Structure 1
Amino acid sequence: MLRKFLILGVFAGASASIPIVYQSNPGILENLLKSTMTSRPAVEAQPDVNLVSVPDKPAAPLPLGRKVVVTADERGHFSSAFRLNGRQVDGMIDTGSTLVAINASTARRIGLSLNPSDFSHEVNTANGTIKAAVALIDRLQIGTITVNDVQVIVLDDRALHTNLIGMSFLSRLSKYQAENGTLLLVQ
C-alpha cells in the first residue's frame, strides 16, 4: 500500500511540474515533439522555403505566437515594420542603441508633440554630438509582441534617417537571438 502511495505521489509531482517546466522553457516540448517526429519515416518531404526581402521595403516579421522572426536584408540588417502608438513605422533593430531612436517627423506622426526646449540632451552619435529630446511612447509593437511605455530619444530628421529599435525595447523582451540570417524576438 505504501508503495502505491509513493508511486502515486511521484506521478502527481511530475505531472504538476510539467506546466512549470514548459513555462520556463517552451522549447523543451517542441524539441521533444520534433525528435519523435524525426524518428518516424517522413510521409512527404516539405519544400524548402527561401524568404527574400525587398531592398526598398523592410520584410514583414513572421509571427509565432509571442515570438517574432525578422529576416536580415541583403546588407545583414534586421529591418521591419513596427507600430509605434498604433502607427506603422519602418525601423531597424540596433542592439548598439541604448534607446529606441526616432526622428522628429516620426515623433510627430505617432502623436508626440515636442517643443524646441525639449531638445536639451546631448547625445554622441557616429556623426558627432547633437541635441535630442527624451520621450515616452505608449506602445511599441512588432507582430504579436507589444511593449508598453518605451523610452525613446528623438533626433532631428537630418541626424537620423532610419528609426532605430534599441535596447529600451529589446531589454524588455525575454529573449532576442540572431542566428543564420534571422533574429528571433520572444516576449
Structure 2
Amino acid sequence: MTILSQTPDTRGEHQSGQDVRTQNVVARRAVANIVKSSLGPVGLDICLFDDIGDVKITNDGATILKMLEIEHPAAKVLVELAELQDREVGDGTTSVVIVAAEMLKRANDLVRNKIHPTSIISGYRVEKLGKDSLVNCAKTSMSSKLVVTTTSLLIWLVDTVQSVKMTNQQREVNYPIKICIF
C-alpha cells in the first residue's frame, strides 16, 4: 500500500489596498446601521431571534451586538469595542459603535485623498483636543442618562481628569480614576 504525501496549500488568498479598506468600512457601517435605529430616547426596539427561536425585544446596543453572529474580522472589532465600552463605562455602546464606524469611513475617505494613515491617526488623538471640545463631549455624554449639569461643573470635571493624567515610558496615557455613583 502506497501512501501519497501531499502538502496542503496554505498560501490562501491575499488581498490588500483600497479595496480591502473599503470592504472593512462597509462591514463596520453595516454593524453600526443595525444598532443606529435603537439610539437615543426615541430609539426603536429591535426584535431578535436566537437559534432556538426565542425572542428578545431590546433597544440596548450591547444586547443587540451580543446576539449577532458576526464573522467579518473588521466588524468584530466594533463588537469588541462595544463590549469594552460596556465593561468600562456601562453605557454608550451604541454611540461608540456609530462614532467609530463614522470615523473609519472618514479616515478611508482621507486615505483615498492621499493623506497618510499616520497623519489621520494623529488627528484622532484625544489629548490634542482643546478644553472646549472636551467640555462639549462631556455635555453630550452626560446629558443622555444623567441629570442636566452646569457648564462650570463640567469644566471642573475636565480639569480634574486632566490633572491626574499619567504617561508611561511607552507614551501610553492612563487616567487612574474610579467613578462611584451614589
- Give TM-score, length-normalised by structure 2: 0.25
- Give TM-score, length-normalised by structure 1: 0.24
- Which entry has the higher C-alpha Rg, 1 or 2? 1
Higher helix share: 2
Higher strand share: 1
